[in-house]
Amino acid sequence: MSDLLDFARGPALQVSVMIFIFGVLYRLISLFLTPKNFIASPARENVKGAFGAGVGEIVRRMIPDKEYMRKEMFAFLNGWAFHIGLAITVFGLAGHIMFFKKILGFGWWNLPSNFVMLAGVITLFSLIASLAHRLTDPVLRKLSTLDDYLSGGLTVLPVATGLLATMHLGLRYETLIAIHILSVCIFLIYFPFGKLMHAFLVFVTRAKTGVEMARKGVKL
């Protein structure tokens, strides 16, 4: 067992998990404690209830509008493939579940390792495809910031190194697993402070948009 693995499983993981928890809670609680906005205009009459509007907007945004379906087909399919693959990879592998169990105090059933590996491969390719799309689409490229590339790159690393570790490719297993854990540490440290935070905020912000739109009487 290498010293690198000891460092990764010890201080690196401890510090990165602490920063992750601190950052996520700080951002979420700050957001929910933000003072209410002053809105002088009265709400439209006979608008949807806030709950219905919020949930409706979350569901509506899961598929592109018909008008843009053709144009957005790649982003739509690739996005779903990536997110489902990532969820399977992160929450389905026995080793990962053991990690969550150590922190949360409870675990769940794992999926076959080979199946998770397949999901990991799909995730990796879809991530690379999305980064390539971002670089080649002129509009998307213009809209992209360093945060987008960092978020994508820091997600690619744990997936790629995890696959190498599972397949025992390239280096000795203890080195591969150490690099994998260290890449997860970097991901966790960056997570609360960039766009990766959308994992927690995506439904909140979409619901909020739905409520605002409903209040203004926008028909969606």
Where along the sequence are the contacts to other proteins (CB under 8 A)? 1-2, 5-6, 9-11, 13-14, 17-39, 43, 93-96, 98-99, 101-103, 110-116, 168, 172-174, 177, 181, 197-198, 201-202, 204-206, 208-209, 211-212, 215
Q: Which residues touch 111 (CB under 8 Å, ≥6 apart)?
A: 88, 92, 93
CA dist 105 → 131, 195, 196 (Å):
36, 28, 25
CB of 49 to other proteins, least distance (A): 14
| Rounded distance between C-alpha atoms, residue 34 and residue 70, angstroms | 39
Instruction: Compute the least distance from the CB of residue 70 to other proteins, in Å.
Output: 24
- Closest to other proteins by CB, 87 or 132: 87
Distance of closest approach, residue 152 Cβ to other proteins, in angstroms:
17
Q: Where are the beta strands (DSSP E) in the chain?
A: none
Closest to other proteins by CB, 6 vs 65, is: 6
Closer of 9 and 83 to other proteins (Cβ): 9
User: Which residue, 19 or 150, has its beta carbon nearer to other proteins?
Assistant: 19
Rounded (to 5) percent helix, strand, coil in the chain: 80, 0, 20
Shortest distance, CB of residue 125 to other proteins, whole angstroms?
21
Smallest distance, other proteins to C-beta of residue 216, A: 11
CA dist 161 and 156 (Å) reads 8
Using alpha carbons only, give the angle 188, 189, 195 rounded to the nearest 5 degrees: 80
Smallest separation, CB 42 to other proteins (Å): 10
Cβ count near 122 (within 10 Å)? 18
Whichever of 98 and 132 has its CB closer to other proteins, that residue is 98
> How far, in Å, CA of 2 to CA of 149, rounded?
31
Query: Which CB sits closer to other proteins, 5 or 154?
Result: 5
